């Protein structure tokens, strides 16, 4: 369970203060599939970064799995990221110098699994995303859709409780986007909590719950989305 | 650890790593051989002359009165010096170790022997105070007695029948002899027989770079030329105050000569090994410079790699790497490059050393130089990479979602 209460995030540069999140409150329960939409610059990525502990919050409280994470040090934060959270990024973010196998291996090595366990997990996840045949390929040799599937395999290999995705289909064409969404739905069905940022309403529609962010705050959202969500339920 | 993926990632961008490994290899090669040369020079510099160098000084006296009575002049001088408080012993001779100029003779075991069989030795003309003034210790036989000392004008070429040899010279003359060489006769120059009356532990010839530097012979004779060299050995701590005192006393005692080249043995040694010291200083400088340049090269490559991988470092952090894991990545990467360079350099260093031993007669490498050089270069590498690695560890994981 993920619980944010009155979270604010302020970016300070020499000249300006940007309030990326203000009094942001949200609770996401176990097994939910939440889509986050909102205009560009509204704070969606900031929210996701704080949720995924990539950034620290300025004020407010954030509990993950019932634990206040504000007091954790770097080592502990890294461990939580490694064990409980999987990330999927818009630009795939595979490591270009490593082949598919080694890319999926990255978080597993930080986890400290032995070689056999790592191999078993890597093969299982690559099989699930349908890319076992590309195990020795480098990211540069794969299409965008394939890269994103490898990234999903990498995010899932550690069997995280939460999957955070920032515009996972932003760089993909419609067909590929659909198949990635199919994959995410399947993952959610098997119990993983998913929070997905997107600006495409048709994709947001596939989530079980939609939230709308405006000016760094959770807002009620545009009526058509509520309508779609209601119709879906 | 993640040796496998780190190594595989390095293979994807080989050029920079190969250049640095090569630089480390060259540094290792030069460093090891420079150390070998420095060791040889330092060993040479550290060789003992046999004299009590810290408490000994020397000077020359030149008479410019053509018919001066050199015999009594030298006797008076030596009396004056020997009676000064703080003087342990003094002798008039022709030269002393490390002076670079002296007298040598070929020695043979048989009269009329083929001169190519002769063994070269330095000759020091002394009286019965010679052994003590030169700081030598008699290890076999007896010192000269006063009545064995003869006096000769410079033109005369008769040799006294006695000699004291260094142990090194005795071994060279009689390599088979197990017991004593005292009492044996050797032949010098035009078949003059010389009876060995004693063996001293050590007294170097005046030429420190001569291979026979340890071969010297004391001859009990005073050669009465106008130019005399005095060697004065003092009690510990008296040298510096005695030098001006002696100079003044002698200068005043006889206005018909000049005292020159008043010098401590420390200074003589310093001047004799000037080339060697300069070489050691230069090599130290070169090796230090090379190590610094290599260190900077490593800093450069690591900084470049950190910038090049900014995004991937953020991604790794997002995937669960803590700061230490990021630092370790760059340290391990450096360890791999360094190891390749050090291993290559170790082989090259040994090959170059073999070449130098064969071509220039350098002494072979001491076994411990290579492991020490390895350790130094590994350490330099790790220190050099620490800064960039630290910077890498401070890259924020937020990079992964920002700047797509
Ligand atoms: N590192 C940063 N420094 C300063 N301002 C930032 C930084 N990151 C984001 N912002 C600002 O915070 C606001 C919210 O950004 P973001 O969360 O990326 O929005 P979204 O993902 O919804 O487009 C924007 O105004 C953005 O310019
Ligand atoms: Mg965004």
Q: Mean pLDDT, 10 residues at a time, over chain B (404 residues)?
A: 88 93 96 94 92 97 86 93 97 96 91 78 96 96 94 77 96 92 89 93 95 96 91 97 95 90 95 94 96 96 96 96 97 96 96 93 89 96 97 95 74
pLDDT at A222 over 70: no
Query: How many angstroms separate the CA atoms of B172 and B215, rounded?
Result: 8
Question: In this predicted model, what pLDDT tens digit does every residue of A98-114 receive, in sequence order?
Answer: 999 999 999 999 999 99
Please give the pLDDT value at position A227: 46
Does the Cβ of A149 fall within 6 Å of ligand 1? no
Same domain, B366 and B283: yes
Span A88-103, average pLDDT: 96
Mutate to test the interface with B, among A9, A40, A54, A85 (most CBs of B within 10 A): A54
Same domain, B19 and B82: no
* CA dihedral sign, ordered B248, B250, B256, B260: negative
- B172-175: long-range contacts (C-beta < 8 A, 24 or more apart)? B172/B119, B172/B212, B172/B215, B173/B107, B173/B109, B173/B119, B174/B109
**Parallel, antiparallel or unpaired: strands A85-88 and A162-166:** parallel
Please give the pLDDT value at position A57: 94
Tokens for B208, please give them: 């420190």
Contact B322 A48 (CB under 8 A): no
Q: Whose CA is nearest to atom 4 of ligand 1?
A: A11
Mutate to test the interface with B, among A21, A106, A153 (most CBs of B within 10 A): A106
Please give the pLDDT value at position A231: 46
Same domain, B196 and B293: no
Distance from residue A174's CA to the centre of ligand 2 (Å): 19
The chain B residue lying nearest A166, using CA atoms, is B401
Query: How many angstroms separate the CA atoms of B363 and B96, rounded?
Result: 27
Please give the pLDDT value at position B380: 97
pLDDT at A220 over 80: no
Same domain, B282 and B207: no
Contact B315 A109 (CB under 8 A): no
Residues in chain A: 233
Could you say which of B214, B239, B272 is where a domain stops?
Answer: B272
Same domain, B198 and B321: no
Same domain, B170 and B250: yes
Could you say which of B247, B272, B297 is where a domain stops?
Answer: B272
User: What percent of chain A is modeled with pLDDT above 70?
Assistant: 94
Which residues neighbour B217 within 8 Å (Cβ) at sequence distance 6 or greater?
B105, B107, B121, B122, B123, B124, B163, B164, B165, B166, B169, B194
Same domain, B231 and B344: no
Q: Whose CA is nearest to atom 18 of ligand 1?
A: A45
Domain residue limits at B133: 53-272
Reported as a pLDDT band with limits 50, 70 and 90, residue A230 is very low
Contact B5 A93 (CB under 8 A): no
Same domain, B253 and B295: no
User: Which atom of ligand 1 has the smallest separation from the CA of A13?
Assistant: 4
To test the pocket of ligand 1, the residue of A10, A14, A41, A49 to mutate (highest count of ligand atoms within 8 Å of its CB) is A41
Could you say which of B227, B247, B272 is where a domain stops?
Answer: B272
Domain count, chain B: 2
Does the Cβ of A169 fall within 6 Å of ligand 1? no
Same domain, B295 and B336: yes
The chain B residue lying nearest A171, using CA atoms, is B404
Residue A160 DSSP one-character state: -
- Quick check: A16 and A78 in contact, CB under 8 A? no
Please give the pLDDT value at position A233: 41
The winner for highest mean pLDDT among A173-182, A202-211, B284-293 is B284-293
Query: How many angstroms separate the CA atoms of B310 and B236, rounded?
Result: 68
Question: In this predicted model, what pLDDT tens digit does every residue of A40-78 receive, in sequence order?
Answer: 999 999 999 999 999 999 999 999 988 999 889 999 999
**Is the minimum CB–CB distance between A111 and chain B shorter than 8 Å?**
yes
- Quick check: B392 and B330 in contact, CB under 8 A? yes
Same domain, B40 and B68: no
pLDDT at A232 over 70: no
Same domain, B334 and B387: yes
Quick check: pTM over 0.80? yes
- Chain A positions touching B321 (Cβ under 8 A) are 78, 82, 110
Same domain, B333 and B253: no
The chain A residue lying nearest B398, using CA atoms, is A54
């Amino acid at each position: 369970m993920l619980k944010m209460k009155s979270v604010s995030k302020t970016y300070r540069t020499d000249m300006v203060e940007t309030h990326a999140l203000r009094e942001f409150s949200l609770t996401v329960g176990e097994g939910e599939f939440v889509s986050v939409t909102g205009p560009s610059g509204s704070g969606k990525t900031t929210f996701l970064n704080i949720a995924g502990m990539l950034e620290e919050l300025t004020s407010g409280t954030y509990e993950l799995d019932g634990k206040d994470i504000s007091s954790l040090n770097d080592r502990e934060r890294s461990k939580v990221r490694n064990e409980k959270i999987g990330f999927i990024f818009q630009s795939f973010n595979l490591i270009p110098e490593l082949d598919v196998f080694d890319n999926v291996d990255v978080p597993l090595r930080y986890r400290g699994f032995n070689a056999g366990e790592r191999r078993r997990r890597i093969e299982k996840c690559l099989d699930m995303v349908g890319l076992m045949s590309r195990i020795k390929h480098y990211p540069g040799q794969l299409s965008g859709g394939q890269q994103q599937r490898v990234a999903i395999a990498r995010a899932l290999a550690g069997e995280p409780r939460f999957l955070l995705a920032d515009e996972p289909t932003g760089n993909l064409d419609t067909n590929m986007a659909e198949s990635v969404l199919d994959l995410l739905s399947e993952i959610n069905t098997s119990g993983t909590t998913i929070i997905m940022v997107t600006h495409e309403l048709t994709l947001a529609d596939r989530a079980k719950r939609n939230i709308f962010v405006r000016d760094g705050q959770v807002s009620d959202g545009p009526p058509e989305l509520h309508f779609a969500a209601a119709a879906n339920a | 650890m993640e040796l496998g993926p780190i190594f595989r990632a390095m293979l994807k961008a080989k050029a920079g790593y190969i250049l640095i490994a090569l630089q480390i290899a060259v540094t290792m090669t030069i460093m090891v051989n420079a150390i070998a040369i420095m060791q040889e020079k330092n060993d040479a510099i550290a060789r003992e002359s046999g004299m009590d160098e810290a408490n000994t000084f020397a000077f020359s006296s030149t008479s410019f009165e053509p018919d001066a009575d050199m015999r009594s002049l030298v006797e008076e001088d030596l009396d004056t010096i020997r009676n000064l408080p703080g003087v342990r012993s003094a002798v008039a001779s022709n030269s002393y170790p490390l002076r670079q100029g002296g007298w040598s003779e070929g020695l043979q075991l048989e009269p009329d022997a083929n001169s190519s069989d002769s063994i070269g030795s330095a000759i020091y003309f002394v009286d019965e105070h010679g052994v003590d003034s030169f700081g030598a210790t008699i290890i076999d036989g007896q010192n000269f007695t006063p009545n064995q000392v003869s006096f000769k004008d410079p033109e005369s070429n008769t040799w006294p029948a006695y000699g004291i040899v260094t142990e090194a010279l005795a071994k060279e003359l009689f390599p088979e002899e197990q017991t004593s060489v005292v009492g044996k006769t050797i032949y010098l120059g035009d078949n003059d027989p010389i009876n060995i009356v004693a063996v001293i532990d050590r007294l170097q010839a005046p030429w420190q770079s001569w291979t026979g530097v340890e071969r010297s012979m004391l001859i009990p004779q005073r050669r009465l030329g106008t130019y005399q060299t005095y060697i004065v050995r003092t009690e510990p701590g008296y040298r510096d105050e005695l030098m001006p005192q002696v100079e003044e006393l002698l200068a005043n005692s006889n206005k018909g000569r000049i005292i020159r080249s008043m010098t401590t043995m420390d200074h003589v040694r310093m001047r004799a090994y000037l080339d060697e010291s300069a070489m050691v200083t230069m090599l130290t400088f070169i090796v230090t410079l090379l190590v610094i340049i290599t260190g900077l090269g490593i800093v450069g490559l690591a900084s470049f790699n950190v910038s090049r991988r900014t995004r991937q470092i953020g991604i790794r952090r997002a995937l669960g790497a803590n700061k230490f894991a990021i630092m370790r990545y760059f340290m391990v990467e450096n360890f791999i490059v360094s190891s390749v360079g050090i291993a290559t350099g170790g082989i090259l260093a040994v090959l170059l050393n073999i070449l130098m031993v064969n071509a220039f007669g350098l002494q072979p490498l001491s076994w411990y130089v290579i492991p020490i050089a390895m350790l130094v270069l590994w350490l330099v590498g790790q220190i050099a990479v620490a800064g960039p690695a630290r910077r890498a560890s401070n890259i924020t994981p937020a990079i992964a979602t920002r700047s797509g």
